[in-house]
Amino acid sequence: MINIAVLGYGTVGSGVVEVIERNQEQISRNTGEEVYVKYILDLRDFPGDPYEDRVVHDFRLILEDAAVSVVCETMGGVGPAYQFTKQALAAGKSVCTSNKELVATHGTELLALAAKKRCNYMFEASVGGGIPILRTIQTSLSAERIVAVTGILNGTTNYILSRMETEKADYHEVLKQAQELGYAERNPEADVEGHDTCRKTAILAALATGKAVEAGEIHTEGISGVTLADLEFAAAKGRKVRLLAVAKIQEDGKLSAMVAPFMLSREHALAAVGDVFNAVVITGNMLGDALFYGRGAGKLPTASAVVADVTDCVRNQGRTVMGGWSEEKADMADITEEERRFYVRTNAASAEAVENAFWGKEDRAASEGILSGEEYGFFTPVMKEKDFYEKCRELGDGVLGKMRLM
Ligand code: HSE
């Protein structure tokens, strides 16, 4: 029997307990061991809960119990979760987590500590929730040089964009609905400003490059500036607006990474991903594209990924598997040198001048411009990011909205 402890009895923590209870037979068959939840650490008591007797308030009980070999950290945040994880790993206990903020912030140090102590720090649930993507990169795709990872990694923002599109509703209205349904936090900043996607991108990019990636070095834009007019223009052109994580590993080994809303052509594999779903396209140099799709959040899908990590730790006691990434920092590419087409929205009165600034008078017809009420949207020619932003600066208030195309 393997004894485990669950830190944090909230949504994911209680999901971990439920998955272990409901799927004990499969888990035992796959690991050859019964997995037993010996402790649940939480500040609160849970009178009447079937696991009430396992609830403890002092982490030292868990740390000092040699019978506990795996700890599930489902607390979130980087405060106590970081300290408890470090102490557990230092004591040779493997840690499995869904905590993307902690992995993105201290993952490099925690992976090194796990390797030193011959245990494991695993975090499949931290990116894409229940989608098995991190283990896939490290095992099934271990013979690939990964050249790109492109994903929809945040359910909240994908829900908001999908609803704006189908209900023809304004961003603030849909955000409010999402908050009422529990799909968005009361303080939605981490999701809507792209920070959550950025952390997940840093984790994916670190695994793809094998090097440490600082989330703070990833250019990040959210969806709070996306308007219904942008979505309507996209729809008129057969496109979809999605918040994407885009990480590319260049021939020279440099990592180009960004998080931003993109207008996707309808043929793109991610264009059909709606509602709260997540999806990731991994591009390998031998494989080409492979698409992974599923529930990126939610109690049981996320908990299932945490428990899968537990089973891997059980099967690999005394040895570190899936090294994650090294302490060497990834060399970041200058994204302002990248070339692509962009979408621009302006007011009808400025349309000619703004469009001319990007195309010149002769070539304007290629812009695919559309007038909609008082506003005008069009596409630019292929241009460098830095030239596009310079032009937008020069045009000032003439540019009401903009977005990258893919
Ligand atoms: N807020 C996150 C999302 C939760 O919407 O995807 C899962 O990481």
Query: Which DSSP string corresponds to 77-132?
Result: SSSHHHHHHHHHHHTT-EEEE--HHHHHHHHHHHHHHHHHTT--EE-GGGTTTTS-
What integer pLDDT is reported at residue 365 of this predicted model? 86
Chain-wide mean pLDDT for the chain? 97
Residue 156 near ligand 1, beta carbon < 6 Å: yes
Cα dihedral angle (228, 229, 235, 239), rounded to 10 degrees?
-90
Give the position, in ligand 1's atom list, of the atom nearest the Cα of 191.
1
What is the DSSP pairing of strand 255-265 with strand 239-249?
A: antiparallel
User: How does pLDDT run across 24-52, given as a tens digit for each residue?
Assistant: 999 999 999 999 999 999 999 999 999 99
Does position 364 have pLDDT exceeding 90, yes or no? Answer: no
Annotated active-site residue 361? The verdict is: no
What integer pLDDT is reported at residue 363 of this predicted model? 86
Give mean pLDDT, residues 138-167.
97
Main-chain dihedrals φ then ψ at residue 132, nearest 5 degrees: -75, 85
Residue 165 near ligand 1, beta carbon < 6 Å: no
Which residue's CA is the nearest one to ligand 1's atom 7? 297
What spacing in Å lies between the alpha carbon of 154 and ligand 1's midpoint? Answer: 5
Does position 361 have pLDDT exceeding 90, yes or no? Answer: no
Token pair of 355 as six digits: 């469009």
Give mean pLDDT, residues 149-176.
97
What spacing in Å lies between the alpha carbon of 127 and ligand 1's midpoint? Answer: 9
User: How does pLDDT run across 277-299, given as a tens digit for each residue?
Assistant: 999 999 999 999 999 999 999 99
pTM for the model: 0.97
Token pair of 305 as six digits: 């990924």
Does position 362 have pLDDT exceeding 90, yes or no? Answer: no
Give mean pLDDT, residues 45-64.
98
| Mutate-to-test residue for ligand 1 from 154, 197, 295, highest number of ligand atoms within 8 A of CB | 154
In 3-state terms the chain splits into helix, strand, coil percentages (rounded to 5) of 40, 25, 35
What integer pLDDT is reported at residue 380 of this predicted model? 98
